[in-house]
DNA sequence: CTGAAAGCGCTTACAG
DNA sequence: CTGAAAGCGCTTACAG
């Protein structure tokens, strides 16, 4: 059957402690012995069981990644960055899609605790932070990615959503737009609220007040319908700021259905800069997705290393990416 | 500190064996005792360590998922389906992006073996199947998803790539197109070869022969350039079949750059039907992505359950999805 | 219906 | 430089 540390020890005529030492590069082992044991391990195709070592060493080298939906391109790109950065440090990652449902968050939280992951990156929203209770209860290290949770003091990496919203407003106003609409995510998502707030403030700073009738919230599914309402009303906007690329694509399709040409009849700006934006030639506020993922892993691992430390909070700047969906007011 | 099975046993005044039995619903425990122990576990927030139980029971309830790139929408959607179906059966999944590099395949294969996952779904290509050696060596159950590996006898789920290619050809020919081009993936990818083969055969069956100069292979990055070569040559095609949606989007952008209108000047058909296709209004051959993921998990779990059994091979039918990127020859 | 004991495959003081 | 032994937190025959 599969070789164990005992098989190697017997084959080498040493104790399992010695084999363990050469595996982990600990203790002082004579060079010849080390080489010999290494050779035997290689020859027998032996790799130590991480389950057994985790039981004693309390390290599983596994992380959990909670996101709303791994099939959403934004989170898929985040996941890739997290995977790569984790891998670089020897960690594997479990994917956990929550659909933003507290019940799923809690189920995964309990599961990850039972699996004894070394840490969890939380990139999902939730109504009630107590869904994380199973993690908190056992002091499982966590880090927040693109989310804020004011109630808990944990390492966090976000982009400056407020500045991103403001950048969108400034871009559209510079293009001459004055009648601005906003397609936001659900009210409960703080990043979306911040984007809208930044957009509104920057608009007002330029002397433009948002018409409350032109500010709507929308889920992923009904974005096209919500956008249609905006675009078909009388006195329709000349520009729409959407709080993520998916919503912006809903707006693009609504515009098409309403017979409007983009950008001539209406400018549209998204947020995130996922592959969806590049593929649809959407002007958007880019999040540094790769750095978000990398930074979250780094913060988490640092936190695992020194649990006492005060939690860091890193804010990354968003960047306007101009493409074909926005243009000067005609 | 964190409660263990000993704490629960002591609190309840019973042996750990009894606690273990109520956890696993095994043995005969008096109803009152069971209820009492359940209560104590709940009160102390106790959940058994899956690491410890894995060491004895040999079940980690973890699966590995090997894909080329989790940030590619096709595989992100696959991952979601695998995650959900796994979750339904109590399994968590590790994401493993290989970039189609044998070296990464092998590294992940070794890692997953060390982590003692209960099985691995392989949805990535590789030049040399021996990259899977670490898995094969320890008899880790595997299942193939949207890939074939003739050398090993393992459960497999694929879509009928040949039929999909043929469907694309029939669609274009029915629209009156005769001068057909193909943008394929690298030659080494069997699914791509099959799609091209099906396309070619169906075309020939309709009396249309492919011009070798109009059949090109391309990576993800240079798809636009490859498509431009096709579209800018003299005697350009009136329709292009692309072996996946990403390539088709490259073609879409190439067409735009070349000043061609889609679909009036050139029809384009993709493959996969990821979110990218719906978002760009691309006519495409749809793979049943969700069913692919579900089926792979089911085959794998069945294989885990009865290792002796002969491996199943399930072929799912693709479906033509007509959108705005193809139309009758004008 | 319940418990004592061995064992899963490692790591880690500790002793020599 | 190397080994004996305890322990990590469970499960599983086996005995009663």
Residue A320 is predicted with a pLDDT of: 98
Name which of B95, B99, B272, B281 to mutate to probe chain A: the one with the most chain A Cβ atoms within 10 A of its Cβ.
B95
> Which distant-in-sequence residues (6+ apart) come within 8 Å of B261 by Cβ?
B255
Residues A281 and A96: beta-carbon distance below 8 Å: no
Looking at mean pLDDT, say which of A3-17, A23-37, A310-324 comes out highest: A310-324
Percent of chain B at pLDDT > 70 equals 99
Sequential DSSP letters for B37-80: HHHHHHHTT----HHHHHHHH----EEEEEES-TTSHHHHHHHH
Q: Average the pLDDT over B120-127 and give the result.
A: 92
Percent of chain B at pLDDT > 90 equals 73
Residue A148 is predicted with a pLDDT of: 84
| pLDDT tens digits for range A254-301 | 998 899 999 999 999 999 999 999 989 999 999 999 999 999 999 999
Of the partner residues A45, A84, A95, the one whose CB lies closest to the CB of residue B83: A95
pLDDT at A34 over 80: yes
**Confidence band, pLDDT 50/70/90 cuts, at residue B1:** low
Nucleotide of closest approach to B6 (CA, C1'): D9
Residue A1 is predicted with a pLDDT of: 58
Residue A69 is predicted with a pLDDT of: 96
Which chain A residue has its CA at the smallest distance from B140's CA? A2
Name which of A76, A294, A325 to mutate to probe chain B: the one with the most chain B Cβ atoms within 10 A of its Cβ.
A76
Residue A205 is predicted with a pLDDT of: 96
Å from the A110 CA to the D7 C1':
26
Sequential DSSP letters for B140-171: --EEEES---TTS---EEEE-HHHHHHHHHHH
Q: What is the 3-state secondary structure (H, E, C) of A203-224?
A: HHHCCCCCCHHHEEECCCCCHH
Give the C-alpha separation, A158 to A154, whole Å.
12
| pLDDT tens digits for range B207-237 | 999 999 999 999 888 899 999 999 987 789 9
**Confidence band, pLDDT 50/70/90 cuts, at residue A134:** very high
Q: Please give the interface size between A and B, counted as residue pairs whose CB atoms are below 8 Å apart.
A: 116
**Residue A23 tokens, joined:** 């595996």
Give the C-alpha separation, B226 to B223, whole Å.
5
With a 7 Å cutoff on the CB, does A30 touch strand C?
no
Q: Average the pLDDT over A308-314 and give the result.
A: 84
| pLDDT tens digits for range B265-280 | 999 999 999 999 998 9
Task: For each of the domains in chain B, give its residue range(s) and CATH number, in order of start.
Answer: 5-48 (1.10.260.40), 60-159+289-316 (3.40.50.2300), 161-287 (3.40.50.2300)
Of the partner residues B54, B76, B110, the one whose CB lies closest to the CB of residue A51: B54
CB contact (8 A) between residue A137 and residue B51: no
Q: Average the pLDDT over B291-297 and give the result.
A: 98
pLDDT at B292 over 90: yes
Cα–Cα nearest to A242, from A181, A151, A314 = A181
Percent of chain A at pLDDT > 70 equals 99
Looking at mean pLDDT, say which of A50-64, A184-198, B3-17 comes out highest: A50-64
Residue B3 is predicted with a pLDDT of: 86
Give the C-alpha separation, A31 to B321, whole Å.
65
Q: Average the pLDDT over B90-98 and give the result.
A: 98
| pLDDT tens digits for range B126-139 | 888 899 999 998 99
Q: Identify the helix (H) or strand (E) that includes residue A54.
A: helix A50-57
With a 7 Å cutoff on the CB, does B275 touch strand D?
no
In three-state secondary structure terms, A13 is: coil
Residues B258 and B230: beta-carbon distance below 8 Å: no
> Which distant-in-sequence residues (6+ apart) come within 8 Å of A154 by Cβ?
A142, A143, A144, A303, A311
User: In chain B, what are the helix, strand and coil shares in percent, each to the nearest 5?
Assistant: 45, 15, 35
Q: Average the pLDDT over A295-321 and give the result.
A: 91
Q: Average the pLDDT over A132-156 and give the result.
A: 89
Q: Average the pLDDT over B171-182 and give the result.
A: 97
pLDDT at B10 over 90: no
Looking at mean pLDDT, say which of A140-154, A172-186, A215-229 comes out highest: A172-186
The protein footprint on chain C, as nucleotides within 7 A of a CB, is 1-5, 7-14
């Amino acid at each position: 059957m599969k070789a164990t540390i005992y098989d190697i020890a017997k084959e080498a005529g040493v104790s399992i402690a010695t084999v363990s030492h050469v595996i982990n590069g600990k203790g002082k082992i004579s060079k010849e012995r080390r080489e010999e044991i290494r050779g035997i391990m290689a020859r027998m195709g032996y790799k130590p069981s991480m389950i057994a070592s985790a039981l004693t060493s309390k390290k599983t080298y596994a992380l959990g990644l909670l996101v709303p939906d791994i099939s959403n391109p934004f989170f898929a790109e985040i996941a890739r960055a997290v995977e790569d950065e984790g891998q670089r440090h020897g960690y594997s990652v479990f994917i956990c899609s929550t659909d933003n449902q507290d019940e799923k968050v809690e189920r995964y939280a309990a599961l990850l605790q039972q699996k004894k992951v070394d840490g969890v990156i939380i990139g999902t929203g939730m109504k009630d932070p107590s869904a994380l209770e199973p993690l908190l209860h056992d002091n499982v290290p966590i880090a927040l990615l693109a989310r804020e949770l004011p109630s808990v003091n944990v390492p966090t990496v976000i982009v400056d959503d407020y500045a991103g919203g403001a950048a969108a407003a400034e871009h559209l106003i510079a293009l001459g737009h004055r009648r601005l609409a906003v397609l936001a995510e659900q009210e409960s998502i703080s990043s979306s609220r911040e984007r809208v707030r930044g957009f509104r403030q920057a608009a007002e700073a330029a002397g433009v007040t948002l018409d409350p009738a032109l500010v709507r919230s929308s889920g992923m599914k009904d974005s096209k319908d919500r956008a249609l309402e905006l675009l078909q009303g009388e006195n329709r906007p000349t520009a729409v700021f959407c709080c993520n690329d998916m919503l912006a694509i809903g707006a693009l399709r609504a515009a098409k259905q309403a017979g409007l040409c983009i950008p001539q009849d209406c400018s549209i700006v998204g947020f995130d800069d996922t592959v969806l934006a590049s593929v649809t030639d959407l002007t958007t506020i880019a999040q540094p997705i790769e750095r978000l993922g990398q930074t979250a892993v780094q913060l988490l691992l640092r936190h695992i290393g020194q649990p006492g430390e005060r939690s860091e909070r890193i804010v990354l700047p968003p960047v306007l990416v101009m493409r074909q969906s926005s243009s000067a007011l005609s």
